Chains A and B, each alone.
Chain A
Amino acid sequence: AQTVTQSQPEMSVQEAETVTLSCTYDTSESDYYLFWYKQPPSRQMILVIRQEAYKQQNATENRFSVNFQKAAKSFSLKISDSQLGDAAMYFCAYRRGIQGAQKLVFGQGTRLTINP
């Protein structure tokens, strides 16, 4: 069974600085997708960034980028120039790549605090 582990229950960073959130996963599949979701206090799940396992290039979305290490099964999220609006719970998630795969496996989450 696939598992996703976020070993940092809480992180904090000064506004405008850079922070990295860690995620490791376990799978025997070769084709899969990895995601980072942001969950603000409103509890809505917002997609931050996604990475296809077959792509070697790390995904980037504006201030958000990932460090995808497939052999190490590591998928960390880097937030540059942190803003107060980045404060939220962040969840790492995994999904198999085959069509019809529905199950997203989530990590336990990391609560990110931004200090002004």
Chain B
Amino acid sequence: NAGVTQTPKFQVLKTGQSMTLQCAQDMNHEYMSWYRQDPGMGLRLIHYSVGAGITDQGEVPNGYNVSRSTTEDFPLRLLSAAPSQTSVYFCASRHRTLSGNTIYFGEGSWLTVV
């Protein structure tokens, strides 16, 4: 099925470990974003990209890196995992034009840092 694919779906990390959450979309969307959702809260923007080679920080970027070498992929890297990064992570994409105001979300990645 077309859409936004996130891997892994579940991950447990030890404090200080690094890892990458993968995100891929096959809709040729220019815009991609990463959000985190903490218990009882809405989503908060971590990083986003408006096209290949272009990334920028969102609301809560500390402790995360991103890159956008292709239109399809937008990986999120945790540099040195901390318990405060335990959360559910969502990748999202949408088309560049104003008519593309429907944002497509992946199914989420559950990350636990112990």
A residues 1-56 near B (Cβ < 8 Å) are 4, 33, 35, 37, 42-47, 50, 52
Would you call B42 and A97 a contact (CB within 8 A)? no
Tell yes or no: A62 within 8 A of B by CB.
Answer: no
Would you call A42 and B107 a contact (CB within 8 A)? yes
Q: How far is the CB of B15 from chain A (nearest CB, A)?
A: 24
B residues 32-49 near A (Cβ < 8 Å) are 33, 35, 37, 40-45, 48
Would you call B42 and A109 a contact (CB within 8 A)? yes
Q: How far is the CB of A97 from chain B (nearest CB, A)?
A: 7
Tell yes or no: A77 within 8 A of B by CB.
Answer: no
Would you call B107 and A43 a contact (CB within 8 A)? yes
Would you call A104 and B98 a contact (CB within 8 A)? no
| Count: A-B pairs, CB below 8 Å | 65
Q: How far is the CB of A60 from chain B (nearest CB, A)?
A: 16
Would you call A100 and B101 a contact (CB within 8 A)? no
Choice from B44, B98, B105, B106 contacting A99 with Cβ under 8 Å? B98
Q: Which residue of the partner chain A has the closest CB to B110?
A: A43
Choice from B31, B44, B58, B101 contacting A33 with Cβ under 8 Å? B101
Choice from B31, B42, B106 contacting A93 with Cβ under 8 Å? B42
Would you call B97 and A104 a contact (CB within 8 A)? no
Would you call A45 and B43 a contact (CB within 8 A)? yes
A residues 83-116 near B (Cβ < 8 Å) are 91, 93, 95, 97, 99-100, 102-109
Q: List 23 A-B contacts (CB under 8 A).
A: A4-B42, A43-B37, A43-B110, A44-B107, A44-B108, A50-B101, A52-B101, A91-B42, A93-B42, A95-B103, A99-B96, A99-B97, A100-B50, A102-B31, A102-B56, A102-B58, A103-B48, A103-B59, A104-B45, A106-B43, A108-B40, A109-B40, A109-B41
Residues of B within 8 A of A (CB): 31, 33, 35, 37, 40-45, 48, 50, 56, 58-59, 88, 90, 92, 96-98, 101-103, 105-108, 110
Residues of A within 8 A of B (CB): 4, 33, 35, 37, 42-47, 50, 52, 91, 93, 95, 97, 99-100, 102-109
